[in-house]
Amino acid sequence: MILAMTVGVLAAGGTYLLLQREMVRMVFGVGLLSHAANFLLLASGVPAWRDEPLVNRMDMAQAADPLPQAFVLTAIVITLAVTIFMLALAVLGHNDDTRRPPETGETHEK
């Protein structure tokens, strides 16, 4: 139940931040959504009836499924790379949040 609530809170917070106008908030939103997806993948491994794969402590047939863990590890690496790329775009990109008129002399209707 706690895992499901954590996924819900992370997904809601990520969606809220993703809908914001500022690029840095959007990057944080993507990060939160990726963490929610990682928790969802880990929950798919059914951790309730599986134990840690420790030798001589349990039957290896009952050990945790390594496939969701491998997916999550890959997703963490991909998310880190995408976050760094998006932050670089936020630093180098044009700031649309300023209310200052452009220096080219353009006028915008309100």
What average pLDDT is seen over the chain?
A: 81
SS3 content of the chain, % helix, strand, coil (to 5): 60, 0, 35
Euclidean distance between CA atoms 73 and 76, whole angstroms: 5
108 within domain boundaries: no
The contacts of residue 49 (CB under 8 Å, 6+ apart) are 62
Phi and psi torsions of 51, nearest 5°? -115, 175
pLDDT in tens, 56-76: 777 776 676 778 788 889 999
26 within domain boundaries: yes
Q: What is the pLDDT of residue 101?
A: 63
81 within domain boundaries: yes
- 99 pLDDT tier (thresholds 50, 70, 90): low
* Domain of residue 14, residue span: 1-50+64-91
Is pLDDT above 70 for 51? no
55 within domain boundaries: no
Q: What is the pLDDT of residue 15?
A: 94
Domain count, the chain: 1
Q: Structure pTM?
A: 0.67
Q: What is the pLDDT of residue 9?
A: 94
